Amino acid sequence: MFTVPLADNAVLCPLEPWQAPEFLAHMDRARAHTDPWIGWAGHSTDLDSARATLQRYADRQAADAGRIFGIRVDGTLVGGVMFPQFDAAAGNCEIGVWTEPAGEGRGLVAAAVRHLIDYAFTTRGMHRIEWYTSPANLRSRALAQRLGMKLDGTMREHYPHNGVRQDKEVWSLLAREWKPSA
């Protein structure tokens, strides 16, 4: 398996269905931290559902329609980044992120996202990357801004989560706006 260094003790690497036990343990640690912002954290609550989540992304990767990657610190899975949607024909994709508390505050998610952006624009020739977040998720909004994304707008009461209709912000970055890493 390949890894991409993010820091001295941290790497970015693919997540695959055979890693479901480790992914489930990570999601159990991350769930309370991520659930206020993203509902899919509640989709992996046992070994079968964790394996199904990773299999969905393996299927998306095989169809060139999405991918999922983990962020490891000292060998332990602490977060990840993904292409929930990847439409090469249209030149559009979405990037999503999550982390448990042990993965925060080190710039690892930002470094991982930069790798995905470079891949999407430089390697795959994508035109537009989208980022969806809750207006209340200040860390996610701040990362979108640091990456040079622009706020396209807010979809008011767009989806139900934990029994409450939530707003969803749409941020985007166009290929011509991206300055690749050196």
Cα dihedral 21/24/25/30 (nearest 10): 160
Rounded Cα gap, residues 54 and 14, in angstroms: 10
Q: List the domains of the chain with CATH numbers.
A: 4-177 (3.40.630.30)
The pLDDT tens digits of the residues spanning 102-116 come to 999 899 999 999 999
Q: Which residue has the tokens 């991206």?
A: 178
The pLDDT tens digits of the residues spanning 125-181 come to 999 999 999 999 999 999 999 999 999 999 999 988 888 898 999 999 999 999 876
Q: What is the model's pLDDT at position 163?
A: 85
The pLDDT tens digits of the residues spanning 40-57 come to 777 889 999 999 999 999
- DSSP for 84-148, written as a single string: EEEETTTTEEEEEEEE-GGGSSSSHHHHHHHHHHHIIIIIT--SEEEEEE-TT-HHHHHHHHHTT
Average pLDDT, integer, range 14-42? 89
CA 94 vs. chain centroid, Å, equals 9
Rounded Cα gap, residues 43 and 29, in angstroms: 14
23, exposed or middle or buried, with CB in 10 Å at 0-12, 13-18, 19+?
Answer: buried
Provide the percentage of residues in the chain whose pLDDT is more than 90.
80
109, exposed or middle or buried, with CB in 10 Å at 0-12, 13-18, 19+?
Answer: buried
Q: What is the model's pLDDT at position 164?
A: 87
**Cβ within 8 Å of residue 102, ≥6 positions away:** 29, 73, 76, 78
pLDDT at residue 124 above 80? yes
Q: What is the model's pLDDT at position 1?
A: 59
102, HSE (Cβ side, Cα atoms, 13 Å): 17
Length of the chain: 182
